[in-house]
Chains A and B, each alone.
Chain A
Amino acid sequence: MEFRYLPMTEKDKKEMLETIGVQTSEELFADIPERIRFQGDLNIKPPKNEYQLMKELADTAGRNVNLKSHTSFLGAGVYDHYIPSIVDHVISRSEFYTAYTPYQPEISQGELQAIFEFQTMICELTGMDVANSSMYDGGTALAEAVNLAAGQTKKKKVLVSKAVHPESLAVIHSYAKGPGVEIIEIDHKEGLTDLEQLDHHLDEDTAGVVVQYPNFFGQVEPLESIRRLVDKQKKAMMITSSNPLALGYLTPPGAFGSDIVVGDAQVFGIPAQYGGPHCGYFATTKKLMRKVPGRLVGQTVDEDGRRGFVLTLQAREQHIRRDKATSNICSNQALNALAASVALSSIGKQGLKKMAAMNIKKTLYMKQQLQARGIEVLYKGAFFNELVIRLKKPVKDINQQLLEKGFIGGYDLGRTEERLAGCMLVAVTEIRTKEEIDTFAGEMGDLNG
């Protein structure tokens, strides 16, 4: 078998072995004790040539129903949006995707500047002072924010709304075990965080309060009232998780005094990819700048006075501070941050507002169409691009039937909370047409009986 990624020839090998002063390459492995030396061949599939492997994998991919083959109204944290063609062309430039972390600024200005621009865009969207170069995803970014708040305030209790994405909530619980942070879940009422319960649990031991805006049900949390509550405890921080697209229309969390704003930029130019890789972002205040997890790019000048960019404030990070680092994060989602920057450059200031508003308008239209067909839409509050509806039949069964009609139905809320069994979370983005919404609503009316 030939291996096109391996340039070694017999002649090279011979010359190299001679230079090293050994007879065979096996001798170079002599320091691996015999007893633990692997004998024989790994029991994995044999190599396959490019054409046949591509054919096989295309077949495997073809076995998946996908967002291009079907019309999707599924969201719940991962959305099907307009992706400008230009995004993939830029991130396919191999100077970007085959580079490592930009530790050598002289030959990494491209990546460094792109990240600096990303940081700027995230600050603009969220209304915050500082943003880092990205996190794994919105869920882990939120979990890091929770631990940061506990570490910074030296308090061990964090109140987390149950209207936060259930998988983010699950990740928060996992991360909290490390430093021993106590997570108190605050219930939701009418689709919004129960402020009475929040107020009840908020006390002098509270490090922070976590809400999502818009929340998991698509509802817009009253950040103004929440901030007022949090203010009752001098040290407690307000942590907000936000779909950054919604911030094209909604007042940003920074304007309501959020201390940390996180979320996922998947909505900007990043395909669903079965849930990853996406692109977490992390934004905060100047005050917390030196506590931020992960990489930060800063502007400076070179010896000749030219503007340039470097990784900075690295004394926070694991490769310098080791066990005293603010986080263990090393690799992040740089290439996806680039994708998001390109998408945001393309969509631009005007486009973002239009796009965000279009999500709301089409979702509102969906609401009216569903109601007109006798489907109960829960919650009265303002929403972004998701609705909760209650069905008379199991969501799973309805989704099965929708599939046969070419639709990927909404998220089965019964998966997360028993009392929401029979409820579906329906997402409508700007790429859904009136016709698709009409047909879907019609089908839903019929299926619901």
Chain B
Amino acid sequence: MTTQLEKNEPGLMAKAVKEGVFAGLIAFGMFLLFVGIETYQDINNQLVWRTRWGLLAIFVAIAAIGRFLTVGFIKPHLDSRKLAKAKSGVLEISDQKSFFHKHFLKIALLFLVCYPFLAMLIFGRQGSLKYVDNFGIQILIYVMLAWGLNIVVGLAGLLDLGYVAFYAVGAYSYALLSANFGFSFWLLLPLAGILAGFWGIILGFPVLRLRGDYLAIVTLAFGEIIRLVLINWTDVTRGTFGISGIAKASFFGIWSFDVGAANNFNKAWGLPSSSVYYKIFLFYVILALCLLTAYVTIRLRRMPIGRAWEALREDEIACRSLGINTVMTKLTAFATGAMFGGFAGSFFAARQGFVSPESFVFLESAVILAIVVLGGMGSLTGIAIAAVVMVGGTELLREMEFLKHVFGPDFTPELYRMLLFGLAMIIVMLFKPRGFVGSREPTAFLKERKAVSGSFTKEGHG
């Protein structure tokens, strides 16, 4: 192997240098204006500019050196490894899965149940707030949303770019009904889900005969229409100001988490007054909601309706030839997905205490869809992993205060959150176009349950 590589080396190096220079030139052209020049407003509010040649040089150098290394070293290395593997003729398939692998779900669940207490133990009462709320609850909301969307996109193969609309319906249902009628969280949670599902049917009915990309665009349009209505229908929604002071969820009506209430949870249990107990309670609520979503999804997949969803994703015309009413099947998928979005929305409203149209922009839909696709469509485990990586990873940036010491005090890592999110979406797709978990578990079997490789499953046409 090595001799072969060495023989190629002179030509290879020349090629690598050439490619590197080329990449540098391209990068120079691309970044010359946007990185090399900075525009800003001076004291007179006049737009002026200054140069940033140093930064531009860094960008160009990264592109050139990166390309050089890729062509000259990384790619030959990977190729030779692939070749060696092919030569040895042994496929790396081991039936012996590690203990961790086999019991992954149980371990994960156990960890989640203990998580708030672990956080309290390690970071103290106030310190844990961040970990329970920003990481725990935040990620679980996205897990639930992505699992809900997974029914529509991953199982039924209907590309929905406006999923956030149902999240908004759920959140506003809770906010408005609780503010105007004083209904409790536990009454409004199912109600918000039903309302969102109902909206799913209303919006779904006209659009579901569309295919693929067209469906995606119409759902995007509906999502935006709902957001614009929320902004402009100020009499009811208070427009961009949003609705604040939304009632907190109570402990099944027994204890309240309002500080002034007589049956305050902390007082009743003799706990010091801190919002962390409410957050922990919310953590378990969203965990339970996630588990409900997972349970329903797993059950539905083994029912005729779930199989019809997956069949629909594979081939709609064949479905119709087998006597399946595809419109009804699509509607149920759409409504079921919307319902879980509604649950998550009402939970979101209760947790934030505040809703505004800002939270329901298209970007949210894109993030949720990205999580579903990155996780591997249809795979609950993969999607949960994707949510942890993508949402947790970007949340982590907020915590990276030490970067200020590296890049100077003006550096705000949060600014780079969405930039990195976008880049991560691209990179994961390039390396794993089928997502983290590409295979599919069959829903029934005669002799043995074999996972279906991702190369056979289709992604739906509408």
Chain B binds chain A: no
